[in-house]
Amino acid sequence: MLLCAFARVSLATPPALAAKAANDAGIAPACAAAKKGKLDEKGFVVIGGIEQWVTVKGDSCANPIILFISGGPGNPLSPYSDAVYGAWSKDFTLVQWDQRGAGMTYGRSPPAAGAVLTLKQMSDDGNELAAYLARRYDKKKVILWGSSWGSILGVHMAKAHPELFYAYLGTSQLVSNRENEAISYAGLLALARATDDKAALAVLEGVGSPPWTDPRSFGKVRRVIRKYEAKVTTPPPAAWWTPAAEYNTPKAKADYEAGEDYSFINFVGMHGDGMASQVDLPKLGIDFAIPMFFVEGAHDLLATPDVARRYYDSLKAPQKDMVLLEHAGHDPNQDVVDAEYKMLKERILPLTK
């Protein structure tokens, strides 16, 4: 089912007027007729002036919505959501979003020549989508989930419009580009020297200490991170990373790869001046109006848990909690998914009642 076009409603519009505007635009709440009906919708929604790909799945309209803010940027979870998170649909309505410049959105709404991604625009997009979901599915708020790049964008969204969200759940939480890169690099260098890993040392010494001005440096270091994390973490099920059929076509795969390249360059920048260089979550302020929850891998060598812990400890929020997983790194595995689900069921679901 194709999702309806977005109603032209400001985030500041009072709920009653927002509902009227949505109805005037033909966006009647999808669950009004069947509060416990199943949801399986997909299509393009006009967000931020362009058509963006959104999927909505769940066993009951009565369940709260989780808006997934995926990583990368440029790595949508849409192709893999059923395999990784499908079991959650009995308790939650799962919303996947191919962000501006990524995946199906990239294919439908390719960026204009010279167009760049910005944190502000993408945060505005995410909050516009959250407001749309609440109106369309007759909810007061939604649950905000962010991982890696999505954890940066998610915190920006939560800070800008907390009234849209019951709580934030961050995984592989990035905090500060300067601090994350410096500590990650130092830790990797120490590991490589301790094991006399000449191949890794050649890469690390070749790129030098951050900040980097060569866009290839981040990718080179990321490959070293994956190598070392694989030694001490539980691998995810192989079936997770086979795309669902509609994402496994030549066009869909080409759009995914092109969006990944475009988004990555916008993230790191051609001279170290991309969106990553602007990431400093503490500067947004440490006071949050919504509960803040975190699930972190003890062996995350990119978003290192010590940086995440200092950030978590500094936050002031109505509720907060942080779980550290011994057999996890930056990328998700079953331990991460299980811990997220436990946090959602035990700490966040009661907030939606």
pLDDT per residue as tens digits for the range 296-326 = 999 999 999 999 999 999 999 999 999 999 9
Cα separation, 232 vs 227, whole angstroms: 10
What number of other Cβ atoms are within 10 A of residue 120's Cβ? 12
pLDDT (tens digit, 9 = 90+) per residue, 66-119?
Answer: 999 999 999 999 999 999 999 999 999 999 999 999 999 999 999 999 999 999
> Who contacts 130 (Cβ-Cβ below 8 Å, separation ≥6)?
67, 142, 144, 157, 161, 164, 165
- Count CA atoms closer than 13 A to 187's CA, side-chain side: 20
| pLDDT value at residue 55 | 98
Note the residue count of the chain.
353
| pLDDT value at residue 36 | 60
pLDDT for residue 10 is more than 60: no
Cα separation, 79 vs 321, whole angstroms: 30
| pLDDT value at residue 315 | 98
DSSP state, 280? B
| pLDDT value at residue 346 | 98
Higher-pLDDT residue of 64, 15? 64
| pLDDT value at residue 26 | 43
Q: What percentage of the chain carries pLDDT values higher than 90?
A: 90
Cα separation, 257 vs 138, whole angstroms: 35
pLDDT for residue 24 is more than 60: no
| pLDDT value at residue 220 | 97
Q: How confident is the model at residue 30 (pLDDT cuts 50, 70, 90)?
A: confident
User: Which H or E element spans position 51?
Assistant: strand 50-58
pLDDT (tens digit, 9 = 90+) per residue, 247-282?
Answer: 999 999 999 999 999 999 999 999 999 999 999 999
| pLDDT value at residue 35 | 55
**Left (φ > 0), alpha (ψ -120 to 50) or beta: where does 138 sit?**
left
Cα separation, 292 vs 119, whole angstroms: 20
pLDDT (tens digit, 9 = 90+) per residue, 176-192?
Answer: 999 999 999 999 999 99
Judged by average pLDDT, the poorest of 5-14, 27-36, 105-114, 344-353 is 5-14
Higher-pLDDT residue of 25, 353? 353
Would you call 111 exposed, middle or buried from its count of C-beta atoms within 10 A (0-12, 13-18, 19+)? middle
Q: How confident is the model at residue 2 (pLDDT cuts 50, 70, 90)?
A: very low
Cα separation, 344 vs 321, whole angstroms: 12
Report cis status (omega within 30 of 0) of the bond before 111: no
Architecture of domain 15-177+236-352: 3-Layer(aba) Sandwich (3.40)
* Displacement of CA 165 from its chain's centroid (Å): 15
pLDDT for residue 22 is more than 50: no
Of 142, 174, 139, nearest in space to 155 by CA: 174
| pLDDT value at residue 11 | 47
| pLDDT value at residue 29 | 67
Q: What is the mean pLDDT of the chain?
A: 92
pLDDT (tens digit, 9 = 90+) per residue, 131-178?
Answer: 999 999 999 999 999 999 999 999 999 999 999 999 999 999 999 999
pLDDT for residue 34 is more than 80: no
- Cα angle, residue 59 at apex, residues 53 and 62 outer, rounded to 5°: 95
Q: What is the pTM of this model?
A: 0.92
| pLDDT value at residue 235 | 97
